[in-house]
Amino acid sequence: MSETRDQDLPHVLDHFLNPRNVGDLPNPDGIGEVGAVACSDVLRLSVRVKDGRIVEARFRAYGCGAAIACGSVATELIVGRSLDDALRFSNDEVSKALGGLPPAKAHCPVLAEEAVKAAVRHYLASSQ
């Protein structure tokens, strides 16, 4: 986040300093773990599903502050969604919820999108 001043990204800073839903869910229904080789960021997201909806989500992020913020906001955005809706989850939603990110951090919302979709796909594959 060094490309811009912290005060220019208040939502990113808030989710970085006070991340929501941190950790792993015990006995999750689905897990998605993705990484960006270019910057060594890794995002792991676990979900609990009930009646076809995500009822709980937690994340772990290894990497930059923007990756942590994206994981945090993604968990807030997906709880309550149907599985079909979660499979349409977009990195644009993460970026907008955070008020935008510098171009150098554009990969972080993509990680969040990929982790959400991977967790849902894991759930769908393991529940058959």
Pairing of strands 53-62, 41-50: antiparallel
Q: Catalytic: which of 54, 77, 108, 118?
A: 108
Q: Catalytic: which of 39, 42, 79, 104?
A: 39
For residue 14, what are the CA distances in angstroms to 8, 9, 41, 96, 98?
A: 12, 9, 19, 14, 9
- Examine the residue annotation and report whether 108 is marked as an active-site residue of this protein: yes
Enumerate residues 6+ apart whose C-beta is below 8 A from 1.
9, 12, 13, 16, 64, 65, 66, 102, 105
- Examine the residue annotation and report whether 64 is marked as an active-site residue of this protein: no
The residues carrying an active-site annotation are 39, 108
